[in-house]
Chains A and B, each alone.
Chain A
């Protein structure tokens, strides 16, 4: 396309939240900032007094921080992975969704990545990792893979954004210099488009394995130990599935929220939700399949220590959490999404939220019980998270919300140019593609 058409582009009302964010935006920002500042204070207190202010103890030496670490990183799989897959599979309905998804990734990764540091007893010694870390420790693998994933996904978020930034620049939206700087002199020439497409094609291929590796490696933190309930080969895929699962739920929730707040009904149509929720349903079934086989093998093997953990989850102290998890992750989504009547926006919202909760519980159920039931005859450990841990959890969530709001404040959450591109080209492209699937009419069938 040439430069922006004179006629007011219908898609430009996507820029409204950027051009005038409105009062409520600032109120929310202030509230969030307050929460975040308090969280900061709480964290500083923890650094000052030591981890004693948490509810962790022997033998449950890992708690909320690790749980949330796994949880947030899991959510992060929403974006990049999904949008990459959709892009790769040329699913045209992806266009309004991809960016939202990618933004989630970038922000949540940043938050999740911080959690191991919060969990350190001596954050002041972080630097030790640099001059004598040891790559044989799964923690180091994590650091590497998460850095890779973070950079990759930000790049992957940024590059498709350039044209939109250019639009903002051309419309002279403040702060001008920012858009000028970020737009990298985009003018939408053929050449530039070619470059952009090629780059994106490379990226979407690179990103997928990285994304998968990240959560696999996170699962390794547990699977590499010999602890009952952790030392399992399917943990890698299990975690990845769970991650994508929770990711999709997260996107759905966000989509519904934005649809409501920015009145994007024109863009986020029921069809999108429908597709995504079906995807969610599929993941839910997949998740159940993994959970089932994980516990069945444990149960059938009947190794005493395994069983101690097993019963601790199924009928012991953790039974309530466990069965809630099963309900949230499997039963509820299954009921709500498999049935067309309930596969409505509210139904989907409920399902997604329950999945998010369920997945958090799953992380809890993976981390704590194995620690609480040591192999040797110790008493079973107890873990009651302290207010500090709750606050930091809340803080993490609010950082996410704030981050997302800030993004939405400066950049369009729906890729304008991709939509336009879709309007102008994809219809043609798709028909071509479809005809290319069809058998050619010219060549007659060989007579037998």
Chain B
């Protein structure tokens, strides 16, 4: 089995997750912009974003942390 490919895929997946979460963040910010433009209750929007965005990033960073951590923690003698 092609370890290189799988390795690539793993990296790809983790980056996709980042993409997703940044996407969500951008979306929320955009909605805040909207609500400011239409001046209907941006406060609620802000509140949500303050909670939501950090949460998403914590999740993604935890994932990355594990991802990198596991790679670092490999035994050197293992053959790929």
Contact = CB atoms under 8 A, between A and B. Distances in A.
- Asked if A and B bind, the verdict is yes
Interface of A: 130-136, 140-141, 144-145, 147-148, 151-152, 155, 159, 162, 176-177, 180-181, 184-187, 189-192, 194-196, 198-199, 202-203, 206, 210, 213
Nearest to B7: A185
Contacts of A152: 55, 59
Which secondary structure dominates chain A's binding surface?
A: helix
Interface string B57-79: 01100110111011111110010
Nearest to B21: A151
Interface of B: 1, 3, 6, 9-10, 21, 24, 27-28, 30-32, 34-35, 38, 40-42, 44-45, 48-49, 51-52, 55-56, 58-59, 62-63, 65-67, 69-75, 78
B37 to A, nearest CB: 10
A148 B1 contact: no
A191 B69 contact: yes
B56 A148 contact: yes
Nearest to A205: B58
A159 B31 contact: no
Contacts of A203: 62
8 contacts: A132-B34, A136-B42, A159-B62, A181-B9, A184-B66, A192-B70, A194-B69, A199-B69
A186 B71 CA distance: 8
B65 A134 contact: no
A181 B31 contact: no
Given A144-B52, A177-B1, A192 B69 contact: yes
A189 B66 contact: no
Contacts of A130: 27
A194 B52 CA distance: 28
A135 B56 contact: no
A199 B65 contact: yes
Contacts of B58: 202, 206
Contact of B62 (A147, A192, A202): A202
Given A148-B55, A152-B55, A192 B73 contact: yes
